[in-house]
Amino acid sequence: MTQMSAANSTVNPASFTSYRLLRVIIARSLVLLFAGIALTAYLQYPREATPRASFQGDLVRIQEAMAQLKPNEPKYAFLQVQKAQLTGNFADFYQANQLLEAFPDDRELILLRAKIALSMHDVTRGGKLFDQLSHYPNDTRTEDLAIDIALQQGQYHQAVETLTLRLQRDLQWSDLARYAYLAHKFGDSAAADQYYVRAQELLSAKQIKDYAWLELQRGIIDLENGQHPEALAHFELANRAYPGHWLIEEHLAETHALLNQPQKAIALYEGVIQQSDNPMYFFALGDLLEATKPTRANGLFSAAEEHFQQRYSRYPMAAAGHMMDIWIEEQQKNPTAERRTRLLQLSEMNLVHRPNADSLIQRINVLILEGDVEAAKQLTVSLLATPWRTAEVAELADKFGLDLPGQLSMQLPAEIVTNQQL
Amino acid sequence: MLELEGNDLFNYNPQNPELGWTVKEDLPAGPYEWKGTRYKKDANGNYRFVYDGRDAQAGRNINTVGFEIPLAFISKEPATDRIVRMWGGSYVRKASSLVKAHAPSAVGSAWLGVKNMFTKELEFNNRDSDYNQVDHDGVPFSDAALSMRYDSHVGVANLKYLREFTTRFAHLGWGFGPSVSALGLPTCFDHSNSPVSVHKTYTLATQAFPRVKNCFFQKLNMPDNSWNTSGKAIPLRYTFEVFLPNLTAVDMDTNGTWPFGRRPEDQVATRFLATFLDMKQNCGATACNVETLNEPALWESAPIEPKTVPNPRFNDKAFLPEFPYLAEPWPEHTTYPKE
């Protein structure tokens, strides 16, 4: 102790004070430096420019253009199609189709009718309209319809072959996006994402809506692969690029719900159901509110059923196809005789008219619910013969002890993907 | 260049004279194979031009950006470095450039912030990666005809495409050469006296080269000496110098007319066609030159209908003699008539 005191007594008090002061100065300087960097970084964080286009802006533009025209003019019908494509409402599509039918000999408008029919899963009607256009085999838009019909009929190899040829001939972002969609469904999500990014790079500043749609597709890949935070990032980016679109907002809502952020999901769904007549969103919102606001939830379930009936009366295939997954899930939790009958009837109708992998999966799930294991297994064998390799396909193969065949290669030539084309 | 006998797809049809102008028909289902053996002749023994010299863009305005740059701005020795080589391109801003980078995590956001501290915000975004090229041009017409508009073919280092140029020029020669001969004009292309155009492609340049060599290495005659405004001893250009390199080379000691540059009023399509003429021989009374096919007198005496030059001879409105050297715009229309 004495020795220590003796040692301490040798330190110059002035030096010691200076040393401490120096330490304080260095420490505070470092804190200030880091705070400065953090503040500058915050201030420099990329700020979003005012979006060039928005859902509401585009809707108003279309409505204003329609107001300048008479309903019996072909351009009015064309604008109504644009409006329907924006809102996604079946009533708008139905009205558009009625307006288009007034011009039975106009090739351009027949093409639009065919597109509407196919987007509403009506392959029979779409096929008939396609036949009317088959005199124009050199029109790439007729080829678009052929690809769409092949996809809805489950003729995937044919569709992929045509798409590949088209991509080699003339790289278009829409073809690349279709190819990417198939690549993901065929089990190669990484390639799909790469193709979507490449498609985005092909878009000009005037195509910001299409850019947002592609960003949405990238998010859907992550969502379907269970990568919810990554999906959310894509959906938020899409929403910033093209704000206010119900399709983006409903995906945001779905993801927030999956991330256990129900309040954010509820707020978004509340906005979505003001814009869309899709019963799925009424149902999803009802589901989120069922525990806390059962009366409101029941009202939403009723509204969902009402919207389904309205949509079914106009486009039964699309109406049924969209709702089937929800009903299958509901039937597993809370079976009812009415829903059982509906599922059996609609899944069969869907498969007959649109025999692709989606319809097969829905029918198999309905048959499993029904306890008809043998029929479900037989259809699963058919499903495995397609190149569809989603998680559901793997689950079904596993369930029935069937081997999961390998993936169809969806790798495109490097010059297409890496912007090294001539 | 000349209509083919039996080509029902787009030969002139007196019953449907507006086909291709105000009348558009769908391409009928194939096959599209042509089985004829000669050019079409009318009752008077005249061939018929596929072209009629009409200006399809007459009365329309074309967006143009004009620059006038002193030579001293781009050359250290403007008195002696008298050749300026140039090319042009048009670009559109990418959608992706409008969407700011987004990081889903706090760490990612902080990194983006730090990264952005060192990114200069520009008044005019000149980051190449933010644009997609729409079109480009090195040498007008040659860029389309020989370089096939490939992005990779623009610029200085295009000697590596010499094999392609040779096979492509021969391919074009089999189209134009026999037409030129049928009209009684001398051609530099060796088509072995073929009576009609032949669709022929080559894999080996060694097979194509003997047919094109006279064209490649002939001097392109000018109609007179007005192009040489300096009076200096400037040699005539060889054909191969037009497309090697794929840049428009403006000789500042000339008036800049093609192939010594490109003046707005130059009918480059017709002049490029003239590279298939044999410039060592006469076309009529005078030596063939780059303007031969643009001379109405030639066609007056040729066995052909209509007796017009193949392409419009003049702009639909006179170019200004001073900067910006463009024609005054036409009044804007909300819609344009089809003819």
- For A221-278, write each residue's pLDDT tens digit: 999 999 999 999 999 999 999 999 999 999 999 999 999 999 999 999 999 999 999 9
β-sheet bridge partners, residue B238: B219
- List CB contacts (< 8 A) between B98 and chain A: 49, 52, 205, 208, 211, 241
Strands B304-305 and B47-48: parallel
CB A161 within 8 A of CB A142: no
Q: Which residue of A has its CA nearest to B110?
A: A41
Instruction: Give Cα A84 to chain centroid, integer Å.
Output: 17
Q: Do B95 and A204 touch (CB under 8 A)?
A: yes
Closest CA to B295 of B116, B282, B105: B282
Closest CA to A104 of A127, A81, A132: A132
Closest CA to A345 of A371, A363, A364, A333: A363
* B56-60, B64-68, B136-140: segment of lowest average pLDDT: B136-140
A240 close to B (CB below 8 A): yes
- Taking the CA of residue B319 and the nearest CA in chain A, the distance in Å comes to 33
β-sheet bridge partners, residue B187: B277
Q: What is the pLDDT of residue B202?
A: 96
DSSP category for residue B212: H
Q: How confident is the model at residue A420 (pLDDT cuts 50, 70, 90)?
A: very low
β-sheet bridge partners, residue A23: none
- List CB contacts (< 8 A) between B104 and chain A: 229-230, 232-233
Instruction: Give Cα A323 to chain centroid, integer Å.
Output: 16
A105 close to B (CB below 8 A): no
Q: How confident is the model at residue B149 (pLDDT cuts 50, 70, 90)?
A: confident
Q: What is the pLDDT of residue A5?
A: 44
Q: What is the pLDDT of residue B109?
A: 65
Closest CA to A117 of A150, A145, A155: A145
CB A276 within 8 A of CB A89: yes
Q: How confident is the model at residue A417 (pLDDT cuts 50, 70, 90)?
A: confident
Instruction: Give Cα A5 to chain centroid, integer Å.
Output: 76
Question: Which of B25, B27, B93, B96 to mutate to probe the A interface, most A CBs <10 Å?
Answer: B96
Checking if the pLDDT of A13 tops 90, the result is: no
Q: What is the pLDDT of residue A303?
A: 97
Q: Do A46 and B116 touch (CB under 8 A)?
A: yes
Give me the CATH code for the A56-152 domain, please. Answer: 1.25.40
Q: How confident is the model at residue B120 (pLDDT cuts 50, 70, 90)?
A: low
Residue type, B218: Q
B217 close to A (CB below 8 A): no
Measured CA to CA, the distance from residue A363 to residue A350 in angstroms comes to: 8
Q: What is the pLDDT of residue A6?
A: 43
- Taking only the tens place, the pLDDT of each residue in A119-151 is 999 999 999 999 998 777 678 899 999 999 999
Mean of pLDDT values over A33-39: 83
Indicate the domain borders of chain A.
56-152, 318-411
β-sheet bridge partners, residue B304: B47
β-sheet bridge partners, residue A233: none
Closest partner residue to A422 (CB to CB) among B92, B113, B152 is B152
Q: Which residue of A has its CA nearest to B119?
A: A44
Q: Do B95 and A208 touch (CB under 8 A)?
A: yes
- List CB contacts (< 8 A) between A211 and chain B: 95-96, 98-99
- List CB contacts (< 8 A) between A47 and chain B: 100
Q: Which residue of A has its CA nearest to B101?
A: A46
Residue type, B200: K
3-state secondary structure chain A: CHHHHHHHHCCCHHHHHHHHHHHHHHHHHHHHHHHHHHHHHHHHCCCCCCCCCCHHHHHHHHHHHHHCCCCCCHHHHHHHHHHHHHHCCHHHHHHHHHHHHCCCCCHHHHHHHHHHHHHCCCHHHHHHHHHHHCCCCCCHHHHHHHHHHHHHCCCHHHHHHHHHHHHHHCCCHHHHHHHHHHHHHCCCHHHHHHHHHHHHHCCEHHHHHHHHHHHHHHHHHHHHCCCHHHHHHHHHHHHHHCCCCHHHHHHHHHHHHHCCCHHHHHHHHHHHHHHCCCHHHHHHHHHHHCCCCHHHHHHHHHHHHHHHHHHHHHCHHHHHHHHHHHHHHHHHHCCCHHHHHHHHHHHHHHHHHCCCHHHHHHHHHHHHHHCCHHHHHHHHHHHHCCCCCCHHHHHHHHHCCCCCCCCCCCCCCHHHHCCCCC
Q: Rounded mean pLDDT of chain A?
A: 91
Q: What is the pLDDT of residue A47?
A: 56
Q: Rounded mean pLDDT of chain B?
A: 89
Q: What is the pLDDT of residue A233?
A: 93
Residue type, B90: S
Q: How confident is the model at residue B71 (pLDDT cuts 50, 70, 90)?
A: very high
Exposed/middle/buried for residue B91 (C-beta within 10 Å: 0-12, 13-18, 19+) = middle
Mean of pLDDT values over A97-124: 95
- Taking only the tens place, the pLDDT of each residue in B157-203 is 888 999 999 999 999 999 999 999 999 999 999 999 999 999 999 99
Closest CA to B263 of B315, B330, B310: B315
- Taking the CA of residue A307 and the nearest CA in chain B, the distance in Å comes to 36
Q: What is the pLDDT of residue A236?
A: 94
B116 close to A (CB below 8 A): yes
Instruction: Give Cα A198 to chain centroid, integer Å.
Output: 18
Mean of pLDDT values over A368-392: 96
A375 close to B (CB below 8 A): no
Measured CA to CA, the distance from residue B176 to residue B2 in angstroms comes to: 9
Per 3-state DSSP, chain B is made up of helix, strand and coil in percentages (nearest 5) of 25, 15, 60
CB B167 within 8 A of CB B148: no
- List CB contacts (< 8 A) between B102 and chain A: 46, 233, 236-237, 240
Q: Which residues contact B271 (CB under 8 A, 6 or more apart)?
A: B258, B259, B290, B291, B293, B294
- Taking the CA of residue B196 and the nearest CA in chain A, the distance in Å comes to 28
Measured CA to CA, the distance from residue A367 to residue A201 in angstroms comes to: 44
Give the Cα-Cα-Cα angle A368, A374, A379 (nearest 5 degrees): 75
Mean of pLDDT values over A207-231: 97
Show the tokens assigned to A267: 């707020």
Residue type, A259: L
Residue type, B292: T
- Taking only the tens place, the pLDDT of each residue in B228-259 is 999 999 999 999 999 888 899 999 999 999 99
Phi–psi pair at B219, nearest 5 degrees: -80, 140
Checking if the pLDDT of A44 tops 70, the result is: no
Q: How confident is the model at residue A11 (pLDDT cuts 50, 70, 90)?
A: low
- Taking only the tens place, the pLDDT of each residue in B1-37 is 899 999 988 899 889 988 888 888 877 777 888 889 9
Instruction: Give Cα A303 to chain centroid, integer Å.
Output: 23
Q: What is the pLDDT of residue B339?
A: 40
Q: What is the pLDDT of residue A4?
A: 43
DSSP category for residue B294: G
Show the tokens assigned to B147: 């370089």
According to the per-residue pLDDT averaged within each range, which of A350-359, B94-103, B141-150 is highest?
A: A350-359
- What end-to-end distance do the CA atoms of chain B give, in Å? 22
- Taking the CA of residue A92 and the nearest CA in chain B, the distance in Å comes to 29
Q: Is A187 left (phi over 0), alpha (psi -120 to 50) or beta?
A: left
A238 close to B (CB below 8 A): no
Q: Is A388 left (phi over 0), alpha (psi -120 to 50) or beta?
A: beta
Q: How confident is the model at residue A421 (pLDDT cuts 50, 70, 90)?
A: very low
Show the tokens assigned to A182: 């198939």
Closest partner residue to A230 (CB to CB) among B26, B101, B104 is B104
Percentage of chain B lying above the pLDDT 90 cut = 59
3-state DSSP assignment of residue B236: coil
Q: What is the pLDDT of residue A7?
A: 45
Exposed/middle/buried for residue B129 (C-beta within 10 Å: 0-12, 13-18, 19+) = exposed
Measured CA to CA, the distance from residue A81 to residue B206 in angstroms comes to: 57
CB B93 within 8 A of CB A208: no
